[in-house]
Structure 1
Amino acid sequence: MVNAIIDGRAVSVQAGTTILDAARSAGIPIPHLCYLKGINEIAACRMCVVEVEGIERLVTACDNVVLEGMVISTNSPRVRRARRTNLRLLLSPHDTSCTTCIRSGNCELQTLSQELNIHYQPYAVKPERSRIDLDAPLIREAGKCIKCMRCVQICDKVQGMHIWDVAGTGSRTTVDVSFNRLLKNTDCTYCGQCVTHCPTGALTARDDTNAVFRALEDPNITTVIQVAPAVRVAWAESFGLDPAFATTGRMVAALRRVGFDYVFDTNFTADLTIMEEGSEFLHRFTHRDQYAWPMFTSCCPGWVRFVKGQFPAYTDNLSTAKSPQQMFGAMAKSYFAQRKGIDPHRMFVVSVMPCISKKSECRLPTMADACGDPDVDVVLTTRELGRLLRSEHIVPADLPEESFDSPLGSGTGAAVIFGATGGVMDAALRSAYFLVTGRNPDPDAFAEVRGDKPWKEATYTIPGAGEVRVAVVSGLGNTRHLMEALEKGRAEYDFVEVMACPGGCAGGGGQPIHEGEELAAERGARLWQLDADAPVRFSHENPDVQALYREFLGAPLGEKSHHLLHTDHRGWSLPVFRREE
Structure 2
Amino acid sequence: MVNIEINGKSLSVPEGSTILSAAQDAGIPIPHLCFLKDINEIAACRICVVEIEGTQRLIPACNTQVEEGMVIKTNSPRVRAARRTNLRLILSEHNSTCTTCIRSGNCALQTLSHDLNIHYQPYKLQPERSRVDLDAPVVREASKCIKCMRCVQVCDKIQSMHIWDVAGTGSRTTVDVSFNRLLKNTDCTFCGQCVTHCPTGALTVRDDSNKVLRALADPEITTVVQVAPAVRAAWAESFDLAPKFATTGRMVAALRRMGFDYIFDTSFTADLTIMEEGSEFLERFTHRGKYRWPMFTSCCPGWVRFVKSQYPDYTDCLSTAKSPQQMFGAVAKSYFAEKKGIDPHKLFVVSVMPCSAKKAECELPTMKDACGDPDVDVVLTTREMVRLLRSDCIVPTDLPEEPFDSPLGTGTGAAVVFGTTGGVMDAALRSAYYLATSKNPKPDAFSAVRGDNPWKEATFNIPGAGQVHVAVVSSLASTRLLMEALESGSANYDFVEVMACPGGCAGGGGQPIHEGEEWAAERGALLWELDAKSKIRFSHENPEVKTLYSEYLKAPLGKRSHQLLHTDHAAWSVPSQQEES
Unmatched 5+ residue regions in structure 1? none
Residue in structure 1 matched with residue 373 of structure 2 by the alignment: 373
Residue in structure 1 matched with residue 291 of structure 2 by the alignment: 291
* Per-residue deviation, 1:578: 11
CA distance in structure 1 between the aligned counterparts of 2:375 and 2:272, rounded to whole angstroms: 16
Residue in structure 1 matched with residue 539 of structure 2 by the alignment: 539
Letter in 2 for 1:300: C
CA distance in structure 1 between the aligned counterparts of 2:93 and 2:482, rounded to whole angstroms: 42
CA distance in structure 2 between the aligned counterparts of 1:302 and 1:388, rounded to whole angstroms: 25
Q: Deviations over 1:29-50 (max 9, x none)?
A: 1111111111111101000011
Give the secondary structure class of the aligned counterpart of 1:114: helix
* Per-residue deviation, 1:56: 2.0
* Per-residue deviation, 1:126: 1.1
- Aligned runs of 1:154-165 on 2, under 5 Å? 154-165=154-165
Q: Deviations over 1:442-473 (max 9, x none)?
A: 01000110000110011111000001110000
Q: Deviations over 1:270-296 (max 9, x none)?
A: 000000000000001111111111000
Letter in 1 for 2:331: M
* Per-residue deviation, 1:71: 2.1
Residue in structure 2 matched with residue 341 of structure 1 by the alignment: 341
- Aligned runs of 1:57-136 on 2, under 5 Å? 57-136=57-136
Give the secondary structure class of the aligned counterpart of 1:143: helix
Residue in structure 2 matched with residue 37 of structure 1 by the alignment: 37
- Aligned runs of 1:51-62 on 2, under 5 Å? 51-62=51-62
Give the secondary structure class of the aligned counterpart of 2:575: coil
Answer yes or no: is the 8 Å Cα contact 1:233–1:243 preserved in 2: no
Note if 1:318 corresponds to 2:318.
Answer: yes
Closer, same or farther: CA 81–253 of 1 in aligned 2, 3 Å: same
* Per-residue deviation, 1:505: 0.3
Residue in structure 2 matched with residue 447 of structure 1 by the alignment: 447
Residue in structure 2 matched with residue 250 of structure 1 by the alignment: 250
Q: Deviations over 1:117-140 (max 9, x none)?
A: 111111110110111110000000
Q: Runs of 4 or more off by more than 6 Å in structure 1?
A: 577-580
Q: Deviations over 1:219-257 (max 9, x none)?
A: 110010000000001001111112342010110010001
* Per-residue deviation, 1:74: 1.3
Give the secondary structure class of the aligned counterpart of 1:407: coil
Give the secondary structure class of the aligned counterpart of 1:50: strand
CA distance in structure 2 between the aligned counterparts of 1:553 and 1:522, rounded to whole angstroms: 37
Closer, same or farther: CA 521–85 of 1 in aligned 2, 3 Å: same
CA distance in structure 2 between the aligned counterparts of 1:78 and 1:380, rounded to whole angstroms: 47
Residue in structure 1 matched with residue 423 of structure 2 by the alignment: 423
Note if 1:12 corresponds to 2:12.
Answer: yes
Letter in 2 for 1:72: I
Give the secondary structure class of the aligned counterpart of 1:525: helix
Residue in structure 2 matched with residue 216 of structure 1 by the alignment: 216
Answer yes or no: is the 8 Å Cα contact 1:18–1:63 preserved in 2: yes
Answer yes or no: is the 8 Å Cα contact 2:309–2:577 preserved in 1: no
Letter in 2 for 1:138: V
Answer yes or no: is the 8 Å Cα contact 1:414–1:427 preserved in 2: yes
Q: Deviations over 1:88-108 (max 9, x none)?
A: 100111111111110000000
Answer yes or no: is the 8 Å Cα contact 1:292–1:317 preserved in 2: yes
Give the secondary structure class of the aligned counterpart of 1:576: helix
TM-score if structure 1 supplies the norm length? 0.99
Residue in structure 1 matched with residue 480 of structure 2 by the alignment: 480
CA distance in structure 2 between the aligned counterparts of 1:578 and 1:30, rounded to whole angstroms: 48
Residue in structure 1 matched with residue 398 of structure 2 by the alignment: 398
Moved more, 457-466 or 64-73: 64-73
* Per-residue deviation, 1:579: 11
- Aligned runs of 1:171-190 on 2, under 5 Å? 171-190=171-190
CA distance in structure 1 between the aligned counterparts of 2:120 and 2:58, rounded to whole angstroms: 24
CA distance in structure 2 between the aligned counterparts of 1:75 and 1:556, rounded to whole angstroms: 66
- Aligned runs of 1:208-287 on 2, under 5 Å? 208-287=208-287
CA distance in structure 1 between the aligned counterparts of 2:22 and 2:249, rounded to whole angstroms: 43
Answer yes or no: is the 8 Å Cα contact 1:271–1:414 preserved in 2: yes
Answer yes or no: is the 8 Å Cα contact 1:433–1:440 preserved in 2: yes
CA distance in structure 2 between the aligned counterparts of 1:447 and 1:403, rounded to whole angstroms: 29
Letter in 1 for 2:257: R
* Per-residue deviation, 1:80: 1.2
Count of aligned positions: 580
Answer yes or no: is the 8 Å Cα contact 1:186–1:577 preserved in 2: no
Note if 1:523 corresponds to 2:523.
Answer: yes
Give the RMSD, CA atoms, in angstroms.
1.2
